[in-house]
Structure 1
Amino acid sequence: MKKIIVITQRIEYIDKYSEIRESLDSSYLILLRACGYIPIVISYTSNIAEVMNKFKVDGVVLSGGNDLNTCNKNKSSALRDNFEDKLISYCIDNGIPILGICRGLQVIANYFGSTFTSVKNQVAIKHQLLVNPKSYYYENLVKLKKVNSYHNYGVKELSVDLFSSAYSEEGIIKAIEHRKYKIFAQMWHPEREVPLKKSQINIIKSFFG
């Protein structure tokens, strides 16, 4: 039986039409299917418990897109932050694993009380990944060697509930894990790699099982 993985979406407020739109790069779905999962896209308007129970969800991915409202206050980010905070709480209460990608790492770090700062030269580049030997995913993380980067904000002070799994040469946190709950997050975008990296697929599969 294939596992069911829920994934969140980007939220955009379109002033011209006074519309709130949600979207997701289809590459995320390709990535999750390559891992052997059935992905289900969730809306910020969803009843979380209803979706999770109906589809018997095995895991959640918090996708990229949108700055945190903490870093860049705007209506779209506020809506998404609020929804994803509730989703994180539900997953913790029900023992559901959470994987964060880029913004997903930031929303997890923010949820547990981390602080942020703006960072330079972290958009559309690749850099060496320095891996913490204590990471549960160490063996596959070191195989990635270089990873992409697409973010304007980084973690300044990490919550004591979390630890850094990997960071860049400049010391910017690039991956985190929770000390107690099954939560792992990374700043790089695995779905943007063509072809997909086997070591990244192995990280996701070892995380969700």
Structure 2
Amino acid sequence: MAPTTAATKSTSFHHRIITLDAAVSKSIHTLFHTSIPGSLLLLLEYSADFRFSFPLALSLYFTRVRRPYLIQFLVGLLVDLLFVGLVKSIFRRSRPLYNPDMKPAVSVDHFSFPSGHASRVFFVASFISLLDDFSGNCWLVLGVWTWAVLTSCSRVLLGRHFVSDVLAGACLGVLEAAFVFRFLKVKTIAVSYLQN
């Protein structure tokens, strides 16, 4: 009898958290979405869309000015796409009911948790912050982090996601950047060792 009671309490707690998350998200959406121009929110949404960011990164890779970190950046974007798709297919959380005119690119986009836009922009911001090439350019780093935060907030304001989706996506993006950056360092050390 005790395991059933513990499972019921756990389910009840989980349900309360989900309900609170939905209520807070809807309150934020209702309170702020009309005070910020919809065109700005959509611009932020499109700027972080994988269909835009990956081709842009790929085209940068094929320019003459190749940077050693671009391949890791591309790998990171692909890792992000795979992880977000996997987690969404596991949790299958529905998007907010007040989500207007959402046109999912793929079937997994029907699901809300975690936010792929939030994970992508926090991956980009974290990755750029970790690179030595940009460590002296605090304005660029500040600009990228501002874009990441605003884009993540726009997901709730547009009604695309709940707050917990955005927070989980942001955490995932930071972890992906740390993983890819670690991979970058290991590869750089290995290449230097092989060249000597």
Q: Do they superpose with TM above 0.5?
A: no
Q: Which has the higher strand share?
A: 1
TM, length-normalised to structure 1: 0.29
Q: Relative contact order (alpha carbons < 8 A, sep ≥ 6): 1 or 2 greater? A: 2
TM-score by length of 2: 0.31
More helix by proportion, 1 or 2?
2
